[in-house]
Structure 1
């Protein structure tokens, strides 16, 4: 039997820790040998942040009573010896719940009141207002108390139908989906809008984020879920009941909120849960297996996914098997098959993306450090040439050479004005390149779309407004690419002159690739187009829903543009930082050359000693280059390796 998802994720975390440690050692080495200029430091910091902050989000989505919370318990929390997430019969997860780890916070449960839906703020904005959340401490040493506190995500309140309508839980156009009124006409709705659970759990500490979502009615009422949180998950696990298969409400949820763009089904796993309900003593194992396979095939056909991505499990039996350490029951539950699919598919894909990015980063770092070595090697060669030219010369010749070096130094100092002029032009072009990506410009781009979504009644022109907004955003990225090209051309021309006149080795790196942000825009647009169909027309007519939708859209687009701006700014900074680095190295070279002349003037024997020092420095430089190759080769080798879990490391399940 293969290793569990927990073990595979633990290995993924061990790989990230191992790589971060090697990266830290490289950083300390560069600082020790005075190689860490601003460009090198920026490269190191970006690499370290990329590895340490890497998150893997798994969203669990299902209609009510499909065993979704039980599946989460079985996959991740069996180590507590009991259920942690509420998983009783009926509706348990009443509000979207995120489980993750934030080291700056103690273990706690944070709950956002559902009444915040009445205010025009996106969920991302509410996250920044800590005082608006109800915060409860979690005692991880008390599993029973922990489970009791987490059960609060299931709390409900009773409100009038008007209040339910305003909050998005009552729809006159689809009465069959509305909650059942009591004798007083009041209806039951979730007490909380969103829950954040912060746990010092081994998997969560290593970057796993679990998103537990409620049923169709609640998902549809929170557009930020379907246009932001779920689409950004690295994997979506859609849970069905094995005995029922794909019901009408399951199909509605899939089509309206989860159906992936064509050709991208790899991020979706469909789970037929509760196969133990098919374990009929009157049926043979072959008959039971035939029924399970028939349900898998039918579900795959209805949802439009490969049959291999439809897995049949029993979460409840899997949890019991893990707690009781019953290997045969665990195998019968088929939970390991799902764990393997998550581990090999999700983690394998995520690791491949991270490995590619890290490999490119290490290559860039090696190139940047190689440039520093080339500068030092050239300076040593110049010094050696000068010193060899002094052999057998008298004091007057030596003094004349000192005057020549001082003259070169003075001429070089005058170049500072040209360097500053280039940096000034660079800063102006950088601002021009970044401006289209600013939050203020995004608001301008979305003005017409915002007005279209906020108009009362049916949104007749909203599809055209969407198309125009996203077309303008694509033009924004195109203008950024053009501006970065102009910036690259200006720097290339200036660098060429500096290289010719001052012997620099300046080289402008290629601008960041904006195509991935264009792909992000395409995914966001595709996700939002689902709300422009006839089936959502009445929902869009509700001002509160339309307001939340446009705010969710703005929040997600801002993240995309800010990420693009961050990449562009980092590239621009790295390019111009080369000038500062090489100017500093050249000034140090002048100081070393003058010091050598002064020592030779004081004692004739110093010439031979100084030549020996230069030779020793060259040998040291070769040694440092070899060490750099070894350190970066070690890093690149670590990129392709997934270290096995150490014996003293514990798992959670």
Structure 2
């Protein structure tokens, strides 16, 4: 299948999952099983699948046909080019294409001057009024294409301003843009572009990142240390006739080469193979030349030959628009789409479904505990009422008094349960302080100062090492505190189960080790800037300031994600205890009501026992159906979903 077909299938699974989750939610609500912890878990699963994004980053030096490749893979159905890909200047700023139904269909552009201000790119994303907005008419491909041409706009500025913006360095003359006779140089007009377009693939969670050339990549550290490392696949485009040039190799080594232990989701594309179609050479000879270029490129970049593909984006786009099957086959474009689908997309799908599977198992466990509690209470009530057969009014009255006394004793035990909560909250406060933004900012402050010092930064590598050692140590301490909380929960829950007959089970503890791996990835992405080749760039105060902001911005995302996981863990434990407290209080109320009915009517005992037995049978059926519904969430969609929750 092509990448488009694979993504369609993935999108169908996500839609089916959302519908099945909705049916499960309604079913739980109808059976009074929608406790706070269960609702929290359902919302997390829904958000996890709804907000899942698959980012494919396209990276290349200028004039490699990158934008044309994006047009050919994703926008041929428009019948024309959408991304600017004509001869001359194309994409000048990092451009993200995605779809958010909460945002108008438009192009948003962040002025390049924002580089001179202290906010990070992440901060600017949360300030929509600072972006220039251009409306897009999805029914007019020509208007869309014309509007998106703005990503190619430039400004002419003085050398001093170009230096402040990060596009000029006297120590790196080969990277500087050419200066005009008027003493001005061209720089991108925009720092970043966001295109919100209801394209079928973008609707399904695809995000396309179109990056500019080497000079612009290096000038925006937040792109290389945040966006590119988070991409699920990177497509690096070369020219088929030249292979790996010096500037291509610089981009690869500094920003794209996979690190040890990193899942390698990189594809290299030798584009413009049509330039090698030579009337004086046989097709076999051309194929041999292309194969040799693929082998040489793979060896130069340290990749497997299967990771280097040769295509003609321009011929592939033309073939799709004109529906020319033979030209499409000759372009080899479908080979690339298949590699994207079978490699990157399938890998992403496995990760998402494994994560969702874990969430569903926890949901099943939490809901199952509630069903078990109710089933046990029903058994106790039936046994209690069975013991009243043949007893006189005095015995029944005595039983009511006993139940009321049990209820009073249970209500008086609230202090002990509150003590458990207090210890839990105190330890949680310590945990949140270790992962809070204030603590993070303090830990990174020394590194930020080292980066902002003027001139060559000889000690900055040491500052990076010390900072990440401290962050790693903090994460280990947080993991230890989480372990202490988990042990306390297990002990407290065992005690409460023994004393009050609860069926509390401590939730699975947060997996903080994964965030240690995130820290390692962030450190690796930053260390590329400490190489000798980047020493001069790093000496620029403005660049170092942007690098420091990019660091704290990305670390903040990691820490916030960790805190969110801890909060869910805490809510799961608290909600479970609250649910069983409520069930116990309801149980006391039901028992007193049952005895009252028996006191008032001679036949009330048998009627109440039959009523409870009917509830037992219903609960048994509900438990089996719950297992069926949760299992159904993980199955692949084969046909339209039917409303199975009414069973």
Shorter-chain TM-score bucket reads over 0.9
In structure 2, the partner of 1:253 is 251
Aligned partners of 1:12 and 1:642 also within 8 Å: no
In structure 2, the partner of 1:210 is 208
Matched, 1:528 2:526: yes
Aligned-pair CA distance for 1:644: 8.0
Looking at structure 2, the residues matched to 98 and 268 of structure 1 have their Cα atoms a distance apart, in angstroms, of 19
In structure 2, the partner of 1:419 is 417
In structure 2, the partner of 1:452 is 450
Looking at structure 1, the residues matched to 465 and 201 of structure 2 have their Cα atoms a distance apart, in angstroms, of 41
Matched, 1:508 2:521: no
Looking at structure 2, the residues matched to 400 and 644 of structure 1 have their Cα atoms a distance apart, in angstroms, of 60
Aligned partners of 1:430 and 1:569 also within 8 Å: no
Aligned partners of 2:451 and 2:548 also within 8 Å: yes
In structure 1, the partner of 2:435 is 437
Residues 33-61 of structure 1: CA deviation (Å, up to 9, x unaligned): 01111111111111111111100000000
Aligned-pair CA distance for 1:420: 1.9
CA pair 619-413 structure 1, distance change in 2 beyond 3 A: same
In structure 1, the partner of 2:645 is none
Q: How does 1:362-377 map to 2 (within 5 A)?
A: 362-377=360-375
Residues 90-121 of structure 1: CA deviation (Å, up to 9, x unaligned): 33001110001111111101111111111122
Looking at structure 2, the residues matched to 389 and 114 of structure 1 have their Cα atoms a distance apart, in angstroms, of 81
SS, match of residue 70 in structure 2:
helix
* 1:308 counterpart (288, 306, 309): 306
SS, match of residue 266 in structure 1:
coil
Matched, 1:610 2:629: no
SS, match of residue 264 in structure 2:
helix
Aligned-pair CA distance for 1:258: 0.8
Matched, 1:59 2:57: yes
Aligned-pair CA distance for 1:575: 1.3
Looking at structure 1, the residues matched to 210 and 638 of structure 2 have their Cα atoms a distance apart, in angstroms, of 30
Matched, 1:100 2:98: yes
Looking at structure 1, the residues matched to 36 and 96 of structure 2 have their Cα atoms a distance apart, in angstroms, of 38
Matched, 1:127 2:132: no
In structure 2, the partner of 1:384 is 382
Give unmatched runs, 5+ long, in structure 1. Answer: 647-653
Q: How does 1:17-166 map to 2 (within 5 A)?
A: 17-166=15-164
* RMSD (Å), alpha carbons: 1.2
Looking at structure 2, the residues matched to 177 and 542 of structure 1 have their Cα atoms a distance apart, in angstroms, of 14
SS, match of residue 455 in structure 2:
coil
* 2:470 counterpart (462, 472, 484): 472
In structure 2, the partner of 1:276 is 274
SS, match of residue 356 in structure 1:
helix
Aligned-pair CA distance for 1:509: 2.1
Residues 170-204 of structure 1: CA deviation (Å, up to 9, x unaligned): 12112122111111121111111111101011111
SS, match of residue 61 in structure 1:
strand
* 2:179 counterpart (175, 178, 181): 181
CA pair 152-643 structure 1, distance change in 2 beyond 3 A: farther
Aligned-pair CA distance for 1:642: 5.6
In structure 2, the partner of 1:399 is 397
Looking at structure 1, the residues matched to 263 and 281 of structure 2 have their Cα atoms a distance apart, in angstroms, of 34
Aligned partners of 1:14 and 1:644 also within 8 Å: no
The more displaced of 114-123 and 66-75 is 114-123
In structure 2, the partner of 1:650 is none
Looking at structure 2, the residues matched to 643 and 462 of structure 1 have their Cα atoms a distance apart, in angstroms, of 56
Aligned-pair CA distance for 1:264: 3.2
Looking at structure 2, the residues matched to 146 and 371 of structure 1 have their Cα atoms a distance apart, in angstroms, of 54
Aligned partners of 2:172 and 2:536 also within 8 Å: no
Looking at structure 2, the residues matched to 466 and 126 of structure 1 have their Cα atoms a distance apart, in angstroms, of 26
Give unmatched runs, 5+ long, in structure 2. Answer: 642-647
In structure 1, the partner of 2:573 is 575
Aligned partners of 2:382 and 2:609 also within 8 Å: yes
Looking at structure 1, the residues matched to 482 and 55 of structure 2 have their Cα atoms a distance apart, in angstroms, of 33
Looking at structure 1, the residues matched to 104 and 496 of structure 2 have their Cα atoms a distance apart, in angstroms, of 54
Looking at structure 1, the residues matched to 336 and 640 of structure 2 have their Cα atoms a distance apart, in angstroms, of 21
Looking at structure 2, the residues matched to 233 and 214 of structure 1 have their Cα atoms a distance apart, in angstroms, of 16
Looking at structure 1, the residues matched to 299 and 325 of structure 2 have their Cα atoms a distance apart, in angstroms, of 33
Residues 537-590 of structure 1: CA deviation (Å, up to 9, x unaligned): 111110000000010010000001111111111112101221100000011111
Q: How does 1:566-645 map to 2 (within 5 A)?
A: 566-636=564-634, 638=635, 641=636, 643=638
SS, match of residue 197 in structure 1:
strand
Looking at structure 2, the residues matched to 105 and 397 of structure 1 have their Cα atoms a distance apart, in angstroms, of 69
Looking at structure 2, the residues matched to 447 and 175 of structure 1 have their Cα atoms a distance apart, in angstroms, of 32
Aligned partners of 2:16 and 2:637 also within 8 Å: no
The more displaced of 526-535 and 545-554 is 526-535
Aligned-pair CA distance for 1:486: 1.4
Q: How does 1:478-557 map to 2 (within 5 A)?
A: 478-557=476-555
In structure 1, the partner of 2:170 is 172
Aligned-pair CA distance for 1:4: 2.0
TM-score computed with the length of structure 1 as normaliser: 0.97
Looking at structure 2, the residues matched to 27 and 464 of structure 1 have their Cα atoms a distance apart, in angstroms, of 52
Looking at structure 1, the residues matched to 381 and 283 of structure 2 have their Cα atoms a distance apart, in angstroms, of 85
Looking at structure 2, the residues matched to 394 and 65 of structure 1 have their Cα atoms a distance apart, in angstroms, of 97
Looking at structure 1, the residues matched to 226 and 385 of structure 2 have their Cα atoms a distance apart, in angstroms, of 66
Residues 52-80 of structure 1: CA deviation (Å, up to 9, x unaligned): 11000000000000000000000000010
Aligned-pair CA distance for 1:263: 4.6
In structure 1, the partner of 2:242 is 244
Aligned partners of 2:219 and 2:543 also within 8 Å: yes
Looking at structure 2, the residues matched to 551 and 333 of structure 1 have their Cα atoms a distance apart, in angstroms, of 43
In structure 2, the partner of 1:651 is none
The more displaced of 85-94 and 286-295 is 85-94
Aligned-pair CA distance for 1:262: 2.5
CA pair 645-190 structure 1, distance change in 2 beyond 3 A: farther
Looking at structure 2, the residues matched to 146 and 634 of structure 1 have their Cα atoms a distance apart, in angstroms, of 41
Looking at structure 2, the residues matched to 643 and 219 of structure 1 have their Cα atoms a distance apart, in angstroms, of 44
SS, match of residue 507 in structure 1:
coil
Aligned partners of 1:110 and 1:195 also within 8 Å: yes
Residues 386-430 of structure 1: CA deviation (Å, up to 9, x unaligned): 111100010000000000000001101112222222212211111
Aligned partners of 1:600 and 1:607 also within 8 Å: yes
In structure 2, the partner of 1:235 is 233
Looking at structure 1, the residues matched to 567 and 155 of structure 2 have their Cα atoms a distance apart, in angstroms, of 48
Aligned partners of 1:97 and 1:211 also within 8 Å: yes
Aligned partners of 1:10 and 1:645 also within 8 Å: no
